[in-house]
């Protein structure tokens, strides 16, 4: 199966969406770090909104690249999952406060494994910094396992752990956006040379 990085004869569209997602995750992480006591109550709302926004951006990215990327369905599926979680958490805020560590842990695990997959694609394409991407993906998986292992340690611990995890995923998305921008530029140059 071809991936986003295998199909560089076409331009990667909307690379900046990954940058927006990364910035969103970093903002959520920093806001949670500076308000841990009220953070757990606010976490439900922030996470719900960020999941919904993340899903919409990822769906938009997948649809806009459906002709250029054969694996666009995976991006679409990830966006739909994020959007469904976002709607669910917005609709049931009290329930989401009880189960949010588990939801975030499984979401973070999914994102961590996705990050590792993206890193392997970058390695195949010859990106020198692919090790940083894989390290961030592994850190995200480790954070998800820690959250699953001790979900009831306390609200402040969960808030700090989740904010750290959001920070990791945010940095990954920001770094990935710049890599996608480079791929966009290379794809454009390749397209111009072939014409």
In a domain, 7, yes or no: no
Work out the pLDDT band at 37, boundaries 50, 70, 90.
low
In a domain, 3, yes or no: no
In a domain, 55, yes or no: yes
Contact yes or no for 12/80 (Cβ under 8 A)? no
Q: What is the pLDDT of residue 195?
A: 67
Question: What does the DSSP 8-state code read for residue 68?
Answer: T
In a domain, 187, yes or no: yes
Q: What is the pLDDT of residue 148?
A: 81
In a domain, 129, yes or no: yes
Q: Is the dihedral of CA 158, 164, 165, 166 positive or negative?
A: positive
120-146 tens-digit pLDDT: 877 877 777 788 888 888 988 888 888
pTM of the predicted protein model: 0.55
Q: Which domain holds residue 151?
A: 14-194
């Amino acid at each position: 199966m071809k991936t986003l990085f295998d199909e560089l004869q076409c331009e990667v569209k909307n690379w900046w969406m990954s940058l927006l997602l990364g910035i969103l995750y970093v903002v959520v992480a920093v806001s949670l770090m500076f308000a841990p006591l009220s953070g757990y109550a606010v976490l439900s709302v922030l996470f719900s909104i960020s999941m919904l926004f993340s899903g919409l951006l990822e769906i938009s990215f997948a649809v806009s690249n459906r002709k250029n990327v054969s694996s666009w369905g995976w991006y679409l599926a990830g966006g739909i999952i994020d959007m469904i979680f976002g709607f669910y958490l917005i609709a049931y805020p009290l329930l989401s406060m009880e189960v949010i560590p588990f939801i975030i842990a499984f979401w973070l695990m999914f994102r961590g494994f996705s990050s590792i997959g993206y890193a392997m694609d970058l390695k195949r394409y010859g990106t020198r910094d692919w090790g940083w991407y894989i390290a961030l993906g592994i850190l995200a998986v480790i954070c998800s396992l820690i959250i699953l292992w001790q979900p009831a340690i306390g609200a402040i611990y969960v808030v700090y752990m989740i904010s750290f995890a959001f920070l990791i995923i945010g940095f990954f998305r920001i770094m990935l956006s710049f890599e996608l921008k480079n791929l966009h530029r290379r794809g454009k140059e390749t397209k111009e040379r072939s014409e």
